[in-house]
Structure 1
Amino acid sequence: MEKFEKLTGIAAPLPQINVDTDMIIPKQFLKTIKRSGLGVNLFDEMRYDDDGNEIPDFVLNKPQYREAQILVAGENFGCGSSREHAPWAIADFGIRCIIAPSYADIFYNNCFKNGILPIALPQEQVDVLMKDAEKGANARVTVDLEAQTVTTSDGESFAFEVDAFKKHCLLEGLDDIGLTMARADAISAFEAKASTERPWV
């Protein structure tokens, strides 16, 4: 998993509440078990019409937001069914950070496991970031995980809270497999000892 330390990038505004996981990645795209390739279908029903053509007014279809790495959204982001494909699609599109007033718990935790930093801020601070994001590609937002701050293009900074263990995992680029592999020596030592003490197992 790619480390998340400090990110400066374009923020796309999505001022919509209750964006559920079916809106993030519709059910017809859940057949795959691969994490790659889902970015093209992120927000599929909002991005494309019935003929598969891009809807020009949707934020991620606008030229200034095609390279967005940060998404500023409304409250209760990621609600609905607990599909891990949702953060897969977000990450595959290139978004590394989401900023919203609140999240659904399962989606929130899945983000960390997939290298995405979900930041919860008070509504009034999200409103400031939303307005900043509406400036387009010239407005760059900086997210500093080590310092736990989000800074607007105008230099206004907001502090955010994050669980210490989740922060450590993002800074080190450790998903569940990475955490296990970090203890490979201890696991090997345990298995060798167990094999000697209980050869019948």
Structure 2
Amino acid sequence: DIFFNNSAKNGLLLVQLPEDHINMLFDLSEDDLLHLAIDLEKQLVTHEKLDDMPFDYDPFAKHCLINGMDQLDYMLSNMDKIDAYEAKKRNVV
């Protein structure tokens, strides 16, 4: 999904949960303000009255969000590896 991918690239965490989990959250929110905890490292959404709700998340986007980087930052942090690869490739040709 384009919106989902663009959100991750801009540092915004979007969590997709199954419909039954969403319905449980809506039910809880009818009575009171809903307080959730989202743990990206463990990929869990938690609420004191519910079981932990796991969610899937792209490993690369997760790495970037946890480390406060975007795709360019990631590439720049690996420039030594990129340079070594390119030098090796030039020597083969």
TM-score, normalised to structure 2, is: 0.73
Q: Which stretches in structure 1 are left out of the alignment for 5+ residues?
A: 1-104, 194-201
CA distance, structure 2, for counterparts of residue 179 and residue 155 of structure 1: 36
Q: RMSD over aligned Cα, in angstroms?
A: 2.1
| Greater fraction helix | 2
1:152 match = 47
Structure 1 position 184 matched with structure 2 position 79: yes
CA distance, structure 2, for counterparts of residue 114 and residue 133 of structure 1: 28
Structure 1 position 164 matched with structure 2 position 24: no
CA distance, structure 2, for counterparts of residue 156 and residue 180 of structure 1: 38
SS in 2 for 1:181: helix
CA drift of 1:175 comes to 0.8
CA distance, structure 2, for counterparts of residue 186 and residue 142 of structure 1: 36
Report how many aligned residue pairs link the two structures. Answer: 84
CA drift of 1:184 comes to 3.3
2:8 match = 112
For 1:36-80, what per-residue CA distance to the aligned partner results, in whole angstroms no more than 9, with x for missing partners? xxxxxxxxxxxxxxxxxxxxxxxxxxxxxxxxxxxxxxxxxxxxx
Structure 1 position 129 matched with structure 2 position 25: yes
SS in 2 for 1:143: strand
Question: Contact 1:121–1:160 at 8 Å: present in 2 too?
Answer: yes
CA distance, structure 1, for counterparts of residue 72 and residue 29 of structure 2: 35
CA drift of 1:109 comes to 0.2
2:37 match = 142
Q: 1:133–1:177: structure 2 CA closer, same or farther, 3 Å change rule?
A: farther
Question: Contact 1:132–1:153 at 8 Å: present in 2 too?
Answer: no
CA drift of 1:186 comes to 4.3
Amino acid of the structure 1 residue aligned with 2:75: T
TM-score, normalised to structure 1, is: 0.37
Amino acid of the structure 2 residue aligned with 1:115: G
Question: Contact 1:119–1:160 at 8 Å: present in 2 too?
Answer: yes
Q: Which runs of 4+ in 1 moved over 6 A?
A: none
Question: Contact 2:64–2:71 at 8 Å: present in 1 too?
Answer: no
SS in 1 for 2:45: strand
CA distance, structure 1, for counterparts of residue 26 and residue 57 of structure 2: 21
